[in-house]
Amino acid sequence: MLVLGIETSCDETAVGVVEDRFTLRSNVIASQVELHAPYGGVVPEVAARAHLEALLPTIDRALVEAGCGLSDVDAVAVTSGPGLIGALLVGVSAAKGLALAHDKPLIGVNHLRAHVEVAQLEHGELEPPLAALVVSGGHTSIVALGEDGRFRQLGATIDDAAGEAFDKIARFLGLGYPGGPEIDRLARQGDPHAIAFPRAMRADPGYDVSLSGLKTAVVRYLRRLEAAGQEPDLADVAASFQEAIVDVQVDKTLRAAADQGLERVVLAGGVAANSRLRARFAEACGQAGLGLLVPSVPLCTDNGAMVAASGANLLAAGHLAPLELGVDPNLPL
Ligand code: KG4
Ligand code: ZN
């Protein structure tokens, strides 16, 4: 069974093909990073227009790389939410057109679930009970996948998403966009324990997190140095900021796993590409005797293969979407 997956929820026009739920046949991304970089963030209107231009050529490339044609595909899967409404509409409209014209089943995919389920392409069937940390530009949550195959949210950020915090601080430090990879790179030359930034809600019994205070603390620290006429060590700032985010995510996720009897941890979403987050989870899960499933970096950030993988699961379970499929910018997990 071949599933074509279309992803246009944010700033990547991405298409992938997955065979029999677990085999990646192709994964093509037309990135819009350069278009949005001058604005320091994604401009929704610009994103929607760019998707419109890039989508059909990206579908063609993904099919060529997969060595198949549209007639060979068994279903067309598309992200229907959450995301930017105009951006989502481009993908969903195209998917409907393809499904109708080629008489293929249509499948509506949840972007957040897809970030988690992409792990099956490299790690095989995701065996519950497991905890997934979903950390992206728009989301930060800890979810549990139960024996019943359902995802349950255990906790989430009460303010900024982790990726949003990375991007905002990077902009403040004068680094490029998107900020996450820039901070990751710079932090490698810094001392993660140089500056004691706050770890809000770390000791709270629940699994919610708060990241906006950390952002404010970094800004205040830099302004204080500036007022005193001192030069900050930006690598130390980046490393210490990153460590504060990572500390909280590791603590909360491992505690959720221990409390809820979850046996494995999946890291998902763009921030799961962060090298320090990956290293610290590897260490902590090793010590706690938990399995750790981490997708390779290109499968962490937005991509079409994740939509195809999640779509293949839905196809296998018989969950098809009607041609009236709508988009939902706030679709919950
Ligand atoms: O999942 P994603 O590609 O798009 C959304 O669904 O939001 O995540 C994008 C986010 C951006 O905020 C980006 O800065 C962050 O992931 N990111 C990283 C790294 N690579 C991407 N954050 C920290 N370290 C990285 N290496
Ligand atoms: Zn995403």
Same domain, 31 and 90: yes
Same domain, 68 and 42: yes
Instruction: Return the best residue to mutate from 173, 301, 333 for the ligand 1 pocket (most ligand atoms within 8 A of CB).
Output: 301
pLDDT tens-digit map of 129-185:
999 999 999 999 999 999 998 999 999 999 999 999 999 999 999 998 899 999 999
Q: Is residue 31 part of a domain?
A: yes
d(CA 95, CA 62): 14
Number of domains in the chain: 2
pLDDT given for residue 45 in this prediction: 96
Same domain, 107 and 178: no
Give me the sign of the Cα torsion angle 187, 189, 192, 198: negative
Q: Is residue 322 part of a domain?
A: no
**pLDDT grade for 325, boundaries at 50, 70 and 90:** very high
Q: What is the CA angle 5-162-92, rounded to 5?
A: 25
pLDDT tens-digit map of 182-217:
999 999 999 999 999 999 999 899 999 999 999 999
Ligand 1, residue 139: give the atom nearest the CA. Answer: 7
Start-to-end CA span in the chain (Å)? 26
Q: Is residue 45 part of a domain?
A: yes
* Residue 183: closest CA among 240, 115, 251: 240
Q: Is residue 191 part of a domain?
A: yes
**pLDDT grade for 331, boundaries at 50, 70 and 90:** very high
Q: Say whether 135 counts as a known binding-site residue.
A: yes
- Is the pLDDT score of 40 beyond 90? no
Q: What is the chain's mean pLDDT, rounded?
A: 97
CB 144 within 8 A of CB 296: no
Peptide bond into 129 cis (omega under 30): yes
Q: Is 313 in the pocket of ligand 1 (CB under 6 A)?
A: no
- Is the pLDDT score of 328 beyond 90? yes
Q: Is 180 in the pocket of ligand 1 (CB under 6 A)?
A: yes
**pLDDT grade for 42, boundaries at 50, 70 and 90:** very high
Q: Are strands 23-31 and 12-19 parallel, antiparallel or unpaired?
A: antiparallel
d(CA 146, CA 151): 7
Q: Say whether 289 counts as a known binding-site residue.
A: no
Same domain, 44 and 175: no
Where do we find the tokens 């919950």? 332
Same domain, 311 and 208: no
Average confidence (pLDDT) over 44-55 = 98
Q: Is residue 331 part of a domain?
A: no
Ion ligand 2 — residues with CB < 5 Å: 136, 302
Ligand 1, residue 242: give the atom nearest the CA. Answer: 23
**pLDDT grade for 269, boundaries at 50, 70 and 90:** very high
pLDDT given for residue 175 in this prediction: 94
Same domain, 105 and 230: no
Same domain, 163 and 281: yes
pLDDT given for residue 281 in this prediction: 98
CATH at 46 = 3.30.420.40
Q: Is residue 48 part of a domain?
A: yes
Same domain, 20 and 55: yes
**pLDDT grade for 12, boundaries at 50, 70 and 90:** very high
Residue 78 belongs to domain spanning: 2-117+303-316
Q: Is residue 198 part of a domain?
A: yes
d(CA 130, CA 265): 6
d(CA 219, CA 230): 14
Q: Is residue 164 part of a domain?
A: yes
Ligand 1, atom 2: closest residue by C-alpha: 270
Average confidence (pLDDT) over 261-288 = 98
pLDDT tens-digit map of 66-105:
999 999 999 999 999 999 999 999 999 999 999 999 999 9
